[in-house]
Amino acid sequence: MSTTGNLPCNVKFMVEGEEEVGSVNLEKFCIDHKEMLVADVILISDTTMIALNTPSVTSGLRGLSYVQVEVTGPNRDLHSGLYGGAVVNPCNVLCDMVASLKDKWGRVTIPGFYDDVKECNPEERAEMAKRPYDKDKFMQSVGVTHLQGEEGYSDLERIGIRPTLDINGIWGGYTGEGAKTILPSKAFAKISMRLVPYQNAERIADLFIKHFISLAPEGVAVKAEYLHGGESYVSPLDTPEYSSASLAVEDVLNKKPIPVRSGGSIPIVSTFEKVLGIKSILLGFGLESDAIHSPNENFPVENFLKGIETIVLYHRNYDQMKQKLTG
């Protein structure tokens, strides 16, 4: 308003502080306040773009299904000499079980896991492949010398349009300095699956839990708990909502932005669509070099300033397009 002297459309702000712990109260808040939250479109700036000189707008997000598992062997840590060889070791068992969750082609082995995955058609994949991508730079930015993943897909497809399964944490037995010769009583892991359109987070968690428990050998007890999840999201590109965002970015950064499917998850986006019936536009200004969720997470001031300019234009564009559409 201080720049243009007016605000061409009504704006409602929603501040969410629970996203990283699964937004447990936000769905209820939306259900309870449907009237108050009525809107044409939702603008969320929690995403990144490729670079200021290669702008992009996020057009899709992966979903998430996050579980914690616990494998219990003996009722206490045992002397590994007096029991090792005969009493089942829950740490070894956990490794066996987790190792079997992917096959040698990098595919998840949970029965039914891919049932609802909608394969992208060759044209869509060809379009995505046009996104600039410097493999060496990508590897260098995270300090690895090789990438790896599901056979038959490119690196960006593995991150953007394919589901996956990762251990987020694992622990059991003695983890201090030096050597302690125990056969541990318990082993734990936090395991999450990134999901793609039409996979349902709760259904995938159910499939995981059923399969994981079925893998347990005799001699251990297994628990598996669904911690939280969220659905994936795809934004159509031919709407006034998306076009307003795309044009605003082009005006500020002098280049038409590339639509990009992000591998991350913002569970509330699908909740908004389900509960309020409103689509979201994901217009974020972070960079892939921001090290998000890592030490030294950062956000460049220039992106912050360009973001302000872009959102001003987004409001103007959207108002104009709506006016034109509604006559």
Tell which positions 206-225 bind its own copies, by CB under 8 A: 217-220
Closest approach of its own copies to the CB of residue 206, in Å: 17
- By CB under 8 A, name the one of 125, 203, 228, 322 that touches its own copies: 228
CA atoms of 65 and 224, how far apart (whole Å): 13
- By CB under 8 A, name the one of 137, 180, 223, 274 that touches its own copies: 180
Burial letters 272-300, b for 16+ CB under 10 A, else e? bbebbebbbbbbbbbbbebeeeeeeeeee
Site map 39..78 versus its own copies, x via CB under 8 A = ---------x-------------x-x-x-x----xxxxxx
Q: Does 197 bind its own copies (CB under 8 A)?
A: no
Closest approach of its own copies to the CB of residue 245, in Å: 20
Secondary structure (3-state) at 98:
helix
Q: Does 162 bind its own copies (CB under 8 A)?
A: yes
Q: Does 265 bind its own copies (CB under 8 A)?
A: yes
- By CB under 8 A, name the one of 43, 80, 213, 239 that touches its own copies: 80
150 within 8 A of 106, measured Cβ to Cβ: yes
Q: Does 142 bind its own copies (CB under 8 A)?
A: yes
Secondary structure (3-state) at 106:
coil
Query: Looking only at Cα atoms, what is the longest distance across the chain?
Result: 84
Q: Does 298 bind its own copies (CB under 8 A)?
A: no
Distance separating the N- and C-terminal Cα atoms of the chain: 25
By beta-carbon proximity to its own copies, the closer residue of 89 and 317 is 89
CA-atom Rg of the chain in angstroms: 23
> To which residue do tokens 């479109």 refer?
41
Choices 117-125, 160-168, 205-213, 241-249; region in contact with its own copies by CB under 8 A: 160-168
Q: Binders of its own copies among 241-260, rule CB under 8 A?
A: none
Q: Does 17 bind its own copies (CB under 8 A)?
A: no
71 within 8 A of 90, measured Cβ to Cβ: yes
Choices 7-15, 169-177, 206-214, 246-254; region in contact with its own copies by CB under 8 A: 169-177
Task: List the beta bridge partners of residue 189.
Answer: 69, 170
Tell me the two tokens of residue 214: 């079925």
By beta-carbon proximity to its own copies, the closer residue of 282 and 313 is 282
